[in-house]
Amino acid sequence: MVYGQLRTVLSVGLLYVISALQISTAYGASRCEQYAQNAVAEHQQNLQNQCGFTGPRWSSDFQGHYGWCLAVSSADAQRETAERNNELMRCGGGTQWAVEDCTYGPDTCIRGFVWREAGPNDHVCVTPGVREQTRNDNAQAAARRSPTGGPFGRDTCLAGFVWREAFPHDFVCVTPETRAETAQDNSQANARDACPHP
């Protein structure tokens, strides 16, 4: 009796896992098909504008782009798309148009922007340069806090630094200029989101 119940529970659990994997694979395939189409089209711009870009990023190999996309996260694919478009923009091509099909879910950024990632769930869209600055600020967080504490306890910043406040309870210490830029990016969040929340 117990064995039969256990077998039923395991069977149901296995079916659930298989179903979840099928849904995940279908979403990944659809997302990556769009990614590969964009990558091939952008390589055509590279050739037409005689930009001279080379390497794996610049290829007409649809299957190569598609396979790479399936193997990486949505954030990595979005980052690669943004970098490719930014290079085209510098060459005189590229477009700052929104991805209208919400390829990467409800937080898909318009072309030329990527997730800031100040925290695990920070999907505010910013330029690649701002995201790099954000990573540097996160890496320097401990060094910019007062070792002796202060009015805000262990979150007290050294002189010359203030809380970034990218989201509630973001106490990473940054320059006042960076905090102002962060507030500006937050205010532009909906405008840079290809699929804004209702």
What pLDDT shows up at residue 92?
63
Residue 93's pLDDT band, with cuts at 50, 70 and 90, is low
The pLDDT of 81-87, averaged and rounded, is: 78
Q: Supply the DSSP string of 151-175, one letter for each residue.
A: TTGGGPBPTT-EE--SSTT---EE-
Radius of gyration of the chain (CA): 22
What pLDDT shows up at residue 80?
84
Please count the other Cβ atoms lying within 10 Å of the Cβ belonging to residue 183: 13
The pLDDT of 34-39, averaged and rounded, is: 82
Residue identified by tokens 């990595």 is 76
What pLDDT shows up at residue 37?
82
User: Nearest to residue 46, comparing CAs of 57, 35, 32, 31?
Assistant: 57
In the chain, domain spans: 1-95, 97-198
Taking the C-alpha atoms of 125, 193, 119 and 149 in order, what is their torsion angle to the nearest 10 degrees?
70
Residue 45 has pLDDT above 70, yes or no: yes
165's torsion region: left (phi>0), alpha (psi -120 to 50) or beta?
left
pTM: 0.54
The pLDDT of 69-83, averaged and rounded, is: 82
- Tell me the pLDDT tens digit for each residue of 168-187: 999 999 999 999 999 999 99
- Tell me the pLDDT tens digit for each residue of 111-162: 778 889 999 989 998 888 888 899 999 999 999 999 999 999 999 999 999 9
Residue 46 has pLDDT above 90, yes or no: no
84's torsion region: left (phi>0), alpha (psi -120 to 50) or beta?
alpha
User: Nearest to residue 35, comparing CAs of 83, 86, 70, 87?
Assistant: 70
User: Nearest to residue 182, comparing CAs of 133, 113, 140?
Assistant: 133
Residue identified by tokens 């091939």 is 40
